[in-house]
Chains A and B, each alone.
Chain A
Amino acid sequence: MPWVSLLILVPLAAAVVLGVLPARERRAARGVALIGSLATLAISIIVVALFDRDMAVMQQVDHLDWIPAAGVSWDVGVDGISLWLVLLTTVIFTLGTIAACQRLPERRGPAFLALIMLAQAALLGLFTAGDLILFYVFWEFMLIPFALLIWNWGGDDRRGTGMIFVVYTMAGSLLMLVAIIATALTAMDATGELSFLIRDMQGVAFGEATSTLLLAGFLIAFAIKIPLWPFHGWLPRAYSQAPIVVTILLAAVMSKAGVYGLLRIGVPVFPEGIGNLLIPVAILALIGIVYGSLLAWRAPTMRLLVGYSSVAHLGFIVLGIIVIDRMAAQGAVLQMINHGIVAAAAFAVVMMISRGTGTGDMDRLGGLAKGAPRLAVAFLFVTMAALALPGSNAFVGEFFILGGVFDQYAWMAVIAMLGVIYAAVYMLRMYQGTMNGPVRGVTDDGRAAEMGARDAIILVPLILMMVWIALWPGSLVGATRASTDLALAPAQVAEGRPVEQIGVLPARAAMTPATDPAERP
């Protein structure tokens, strides 16, 4: 069975069915959405089960020519880098769908669910695409459902927010489209064949100057999507204005698109260019870590706090990828998953508090632990994971990211540690500010915010996943090792790293004759 293709087509089909349902068929819509998301989840579990952990290249590949004349194809598969992201996506979307079904918007509920399904299809496509154009297709397409969700069900400033979200992101990605085309055409000069398959481009020696230029084109798109400081302008708006369920999806899953692209395309396809952009990108990531932390410390609302903290956390992941170190990169892959789980849980908590108290304003809340002890415990879990307490899942990723970074550039790790300290400050501010101290902002001690069974369905699986990863991260890392090593190896060679640091020797990179762009007519 073409499981990976089904992974994309099933939610797409669910979206179509939901799209044609009349607005009043709320019950049917819930059923379709739940079945759709659970089916997708089941397929993703099958994909994980069929996964061969020792294989570095894309596996379970479904290939179908789309526009052969232009070298474009439907090419999807999974490898160690994408495997867990796929599972993360299906899990988070399942939980998000459940949350959405619990409190379906009064207006046009089926459409809301349809768009969520559409977004899921797009993200799954993004994480499995093996063809650059297909990657781009999903990269852009996902904006539509997200934007429509913001526009139709968002906060007071939804119009401007959605527009900025879309336009800002597109500003980067359309340039990426040009870079994609240029990459394929340049590669064609070397290989004699027009193809947008990522695996065909890996191992093509572009020459340092060309490689740097092309990578820069991609990086603009990635930087905005990640977002890397100072391109995060859209994030606080979008996270604040989107319906909270959508914010969960944005923060948990969509925010991985940029870093995923960096590791899937940026590093392996342009190994020669990385060296020139390594330090600038790392510095932006470091600034983002400190800056995001500072802003999170003083952010007025919970959503902004978690949003800015995401800027900081993604800074760590970028750092882990860009320093071209096996340990850091595997830590980064793990951290993508961790951040997804933790951000989803954090926003789920924000959702519960905001709903129970009617506000997300930090200054107007306090002492909710009295009426909501169970939520307090869950929130504590989330807080500790978010601030990467040693022993939490997030710490595992952070430790190995920074360990690897320390290996290559010790000063970066030391600066990044500032973010670790600040994380404690701002996350405790959020936890204590809402849960502890004298009761504020509510008349019922916060009982309305207490985690009921319906909330637990969403939060408890997330917490269980955190515990699982904290207890046995090896179970995840074991599957990511081969692919990450393969992705990194050419860049490590290009950077002249010691041989013992390199996991696999990139045979193709060594063999493909380098064509100097200057020599080409």
Chain B
Amino acid sequence: MATALAWIVLVVPLISGIVLAGWPGEPPHAVTRLLGIGSILISFALSVAVFVGLLGNAADDRSFTSSAFEWISIAGTDVDLSILVDPLSVMMMLIITGVGFLIHLYSAEYMERDRDYRRFFASMNLFVFSMLLLVLAGNFFFLIVGWAFVGLASYLLIGFWYERPAAVAAAKKAFVINVIGDVGLVLAAFLILRELGTLDYGEAFAGASGLGANSGTVLAICLLLFVGAAAKSAQVPLHTWLPDAMEGPTPVSALIHAATMVTAGVYLIVRCHAFFDLSWLAGDIVAVVGAITLLMAATVALQQVDIKRVLAWSTVSQVGYMIMAVGLGAYASGMFMLMAHAFYKAALFLAAGVVIHALHDEQSLDRMGGLRKYLRVAYFGMGAGCLAIAGVPGFAGFFAKDDVLASALNGGAIGVFCWVVGIIGAFLTALYMFRLLFRAFFGPEPAGGYQPAPHPSRWWMSVPVVVLGILSIVGGWLQLPFGWTEISDWLLPVTGEGPAIVEPTHATEVVTIIVSVVMALGGIGLAWWLFGADPERRIRLAAIARGPRAVMDDAWRFDEAYDDVFVEPGREMADVMLTRVEPAGPQGIITGTVAFVRGAARLVRSSQSGMVRAYAFWMVLGIALAGIVAALIAAGGS
């Protein structure tokens, strides 16, 4: 029953996407909305049904696989088109379809004036389908397919406004970096296939322990999986595509580049924890990468003036927390944060979208200020989101981040390091988020005021912002410190209980709560001092630390380094191949042979002088040669 519903959940967005894509001409907006949004609503409703259905089962009876047909059978390996419904995938389904539905609703208004309304919803539906495929896939092959399909949807939506060169370039960058991730994943699959002879989740995870704890093979599998995860989840050093991805429409940023797709890496590691449990080194590497990412991205977020870029870097940073958590073995904490983040980051993005929409595509903080009296809904959404992400007690982000950090403190030396980084990150998070809030919604209006005045959103956009704002508050109450662990309990059948699993204890909870609350409030306070209380102050302080801030502003110059190290040399090498090697080598074989034969032909022609006496001479020479050849043969033969 559960699997049948899950198949429908999976297929409905696909069908509506295909119908929309194949619709001849541009359908009326109402039709597009009905198909585009209705399909996601159906999926959400059915996901809830699946969830309720599983709830009714015993905890150890919540995992079902269903195979549609034998997709291929090749050289002894069978790959079925199959799905796996278990607590983890159901949780992801709920997030994807739930948040997805809200954002679709929001898009109905946001994209209203765009001439490619239908194309937008078709792509969004394709995305939801792909994301569902990613989380529902029952084997590594279809995981990779879903993995790539979300990349494709992401590509299509980042480059939605294809006339803009910046959007086109961003889309390509995102795609190519994700292909690098795909390659990691594919290689991991090859390794699993070679070592375990299967691509099926169940068989692979069951056989994982046979590879030996901490063996090189397990480490390689984990690191290759992590390459895929890092590319999709924008972890250092594969993070550079995400900020550029903000070229896409804001709902896209909210759904794909904040709430769902970028957290796929977290999902992947939790899904494949059977491997990660076997290799402490792999886990530590993952955790450290997450920690570095969260800190680095937080510093960059401090400097951004584009409202969406602040949020983008914030996303990188927040996903860093999750990756750190799952790297350390705190799978439930990571998933908890994934869910909470989906709520508050979606709220933030949608609120930012309201602002952008109201200001006619203005995205610069320098052209904002005092918006709270125009855009109450956005102010609510943004405010709730900021409080949540900053980790103010009672809000979703507080509980999630606390859960992660408290677990980290139990994760050994690396865990302590991560904890410290996380705490610093928490401070920075509060600082940059409230910088955004204060600069956009407080203070004076930009010089010259707003022409025309910002218009508030209608209900299509308002409802999702409000709902997500509320979820940013209440969403965290599923897992509270000191014993209320709904998420962990739910995921227990998946993550299992083992020595590698890290969970918070009372002591770490206490320490973490105290320190992180102080940090969060400190950050908010500093933000108020810098940006809220006196808008002139930041201009007066502009000279401070100009150099490091420039580096942060340039996002630590990863792009430039990649250009210098990979892109430009590659391009030059290709040019050398095209202009030098190709003409000299493969073409040279031809031109050289032609020249040689032509030269020989000229020689033959010139020997043909037309004079009969010369011919006689050649004949005599020929006789001599023939004599020599014959003599040699006779000498050799005897």
| Residues of chain A whose beta carbon lies under 8 Å from any beta carbon of chain B | 164, 168, 229-234, 291, 294-295, 297-299, 325-327, 330-331, 367, 369-370, 373, 377, 380, 384, 387, 389-391, 395-396, 399-400, 402-404, 406-407, 410, 413-414, 417, 420-421, 424-425, 428-429, 432, 435-439, 472-474, 477-478, 481, 503
Collect the chain A residues with CB atoms within 8 Å of residue B574's CB. Answer: 294-295, 297-298
A428 to B175, CA, bound (A): 9
- Residue pair A402, B186 in contact (C-beta under 8 Å): yes
Whether A230 lies near B586 (C-beta < 8 A) is yes
Given A331-B74, A406-B190, A436-B163, does the pair A391, B145 have CB atoms closer than 8 Å?
Answer: yes
Determine if A413 and B187 form an interchain contact, defined as CB atoms under 8 angstroms apart.
yes
- Cross-chain contact A330 with B163 (CB below 8 angstroms): no
Query: Would you list the 6 A-B pairs with minimal beta carbon distance, nearest first?
Result: A390-B148, A327-B75, A326-B75, A436-B162, A391-B145, A406-B190
Q: Within 8 Å CB of A229, what residues of B?
A: 586
B534 at the interface (CB under 8 A from A): no
Closest chain B residue to A387, Cβ basis: B179
A440 to chain B, nearest CB (A): 11
Contact: B159 with A424, CB < 8 Å?
Answer: no
CB-based contact B190/A233 at 8 Å: no
Given A234-B590, A420-B182, 7 further pairs, Cβ under 8 A: A295-B582, A330-B75, A391-B148, A407-B194, A413-B190, A421-B183, A478-B73
The distance in angstroms between the C-alpha atoms of A395 and B537, with both chains bound, is: 56
Please, could you name 18 A-B residue pairs with CB atoms under 8 Å apart, sorted by A?
A230-B585, A230-B589, A291-B577, A294-B573, A370-B163, A384-B152, A387-B179, A390-B186, A399-B144, A399-B186, A403-B190, A403-B193, A407-B194, A425-B172, A428-B175, A438-B165, A474-B69, A474-B71
Check B180 for interface membership: any CB of A closer than 8 A.
Answer: yes
Q: How far is the CA of A400 from the CA of B187 in the complex (A)?
A: 12
* Nearest CB in chain A: distance from B185 CB, A: 9
Q: How far is the CB of A285 from chain B (nearest CB, A)?
A: 15
Chain A residues touching B, majority SS: helix
Contact A425 B587 (CB under 8 A): no
Distance of B540 from chain A, by nearest CB (Å)? 42
Q: Which residues of A contact B119 (CB under 8 A)?
A: 373
Contact with A along B417-428 (1 / 0, CB 8 A): 000000000000
- Give the distance in Å from the alpha carbon of A367 to the alpha carbon of B161 in the complex: 11
Which residue in chain A gives the minimum CB-CB distance to B577?
Answer: A294
Compute how far the CA of A503 lies from the CA of B73 in the bound complex, rounded to whole angstroms: 13
Task: Please report the C-alpha to C-alpha distance between residue A395 and residue B145 in the assembled complex, in whole angstroms.
Answer: 9
Given A295-B574, A325-B75, A396-B72, is A232 in contact with B586 using a C-beta cutoff of 8 Å? yes
* Tally of chain B residues near chain A (CB < 8 A): 55
Q: How far is A478 from B590 in the complex, measured between Cα atoms in Å?
A: 42
One digit per residue, 1 when the CB lies within 8 angstroms of any chain A CB and 0 when it does not, for chain B 515-545 equals 0000000000000000000000000000000
Known contacts A414-B187, A432-B168; A437 and B74 CB within 8 A of each other: no
Partner of A421, one of B21, B172, B180: B180
Most chain B CB within 10 A, of A377, A407, A437, is at A437
| A414-B581 Cα distance, complex, nearest whole Å | 24
| Chain B interface residues (CB < 8 Å from chain A) | 21, 69-77, 119, 141, 144-149, 151-152, 156, 159, 162-163, 165, 168, 171-172, 175-176, 179-180, 182-183, 186-187, 189-191, 193-194, 570-571, 573-575, 577-578, 581-582, 585-587, 589-590
| B152 and A389 within 8 A (CB) | yes
How long is the Cα–Cα vector from A217 to B123 in the complex, in angstroms? 52
By a CB distance below 8 angstroms, the chain A residues around B183 are 417, 420-421
**How far, in angstroms, from A330 to B72 measured CA to CA in the complex?**
11
Q: Which residues of A contact B179 (CB under 8 A)?
A: 387, 420-421, 424
> For the complex, what is the distance from the CA of A196 to the CA of B366, rounded to whole Å?
81
Alpha-carbon distance A299/B146, docked complex (angstroms):
31
A424 neighbours in B (Cβ, 8 Å): 175-176, 179
Cα distance A54–B183 in the bound complex, in angstroms: 34
Q: How far is the CB of A87 from chain B (nearest CB, A)?
A: 18
Bound CA–CA A432/B176 (angstroms): 13
A327 & B74 in contact (Cβ 8 Å cutoff): yes
Q: Which residue of A lies closest to B185 (CB)?
A: A390
**Which of chain B's residues have a CB closer than 8 A to the CB of A413?**
187, 190
Given the known A-B contacts A413-B190, A417-B187, are A233 and B159 also in contact in the complex, defined by CB atoms under 8 Å?
no
Q: Specify the chain A residue showing the minimal Cβ separation from B576.
A: A294
| Residue contact B577 to A390, C-beta cutoff 8 Å | no
Indicate whether A390 sits within 8 Å of B145 (C-beta atoms), given known contacts A294-B574, A295-B578, A435-B162: yes
A400 to B163, CA, bound (A): 37
Measured CB to CB, the closest approach of chain B to A500, in angstroms, equals 8
Residues in chain A near residue B189, CB distance under 8 A = 403
Q: Which residue of A lies closest to B26 (CB)?
A: A373
**Residues in A neighbouring B570, C-beta threshold 8 A:** 294
Residues on B with C-beta less than 8 A from A400 are: 72, 74-75
Report how far A335 CA is from B69 CA in the complex, Å.
22
Which residues of B are found within 8 Å of A472, using beta-carbon distances?
69, 71
Give the residues in chain A near B149, CB-CB below 8 Å.
Answer: 389-391
Given contacts A294-B573, A327-B77, A437-B163, contact A473 B71 (CB under 8 A): yes
Q: Please tell me if the beta carbons of A436 and B145 are within 8 angstroms of each other in the complex.
A: no
- Say yes or no: A473-B187 contact (C-beta < 8 A), given A295-B578, A298-B571, A390-B148: no
Asked if residues B587 and A477 are in contact (CB atoms below 8 Å), the reply is no
Cross-chain contact A298 with B589 (CB below 8 angstroms) = no
Q: A437 and B168: CB pair below 8 A?
A: yes
A417-B570 Cα distance, complex, nearest whole Å:
16
In the bound complex, residues from chain B placing their C-beta under 8 Å from that of A377 are: 21
Complex Cα gap A436–B573 (Å) = 26
Checking A168, A407, A420, A481 against B590 with a beta-carbon cut-off of 8 angstroms, the contacting residue is A168
When distances are taken between beta carbons in the complex, the residues of chain B under 8 Å from A403 are 189-190, 193
Q: How far is the CA of A369 from the CA of B149 in the complex (A)?
A: 21
Residue picked from A387, A472, A474, most chain B C-beta under 10 Å = A474
Q: How far is the CA of A295 from the CA of B77 in the complex (A)?
A: 36
A437 contacts B162, CB within 8 Å?
yes
Q: Distance in Å from the Cβ of B560 to the closest Cβ of chain A?
A: 19
Q: Which residue of B lies closest to A484 (CB)?
A: B75
Instruction: Please give me the residue from chain B that is nearest to A229 by CB atom.
Output: B586
> Which B residues are CB-close (under 8 A) to A503?
75
A399 nearest CB across to chain B (Å): 7
Contact B176 A428 (CB under 8 A): yes
A295 and B339 CA atoms in complex are apart in Å by 45
Asked if A390 and B182 sit within 8 Å, CB to CB, the answer is: yes
* Chain A residues with CB below 8 A from B146, complex form: 391
CB <8 Å contact, B148 and A389: yes
User: In the complex, A305 Cα to B424 Cα: how many Å?
Assistant: 50
Residue of B nearest to A488 (CB): B75
Distance of A483 Cα from B151 Cα, bound (Å): 37
Q: Which residues on A sit within 8 Å (CB–CB) of B168?
A: 432, 436-437
Nearest Cβ distance between residue A187 and chain B, in whole angstroms?
30
A436 CA / B155 CA spacing, docked (Å):
13
State A325–B187 Cα separation when bound (angstroms). Answer: 17
Knowing A421-B183, A438-B163, say if A477 contacts B190 (CB, 8 Å): no
Note all chain A residues with C-beta closer than 8 A to B193. Answer: 403, 406-407
Residues of B within 8 A of A417 (CB): 183, 186-187
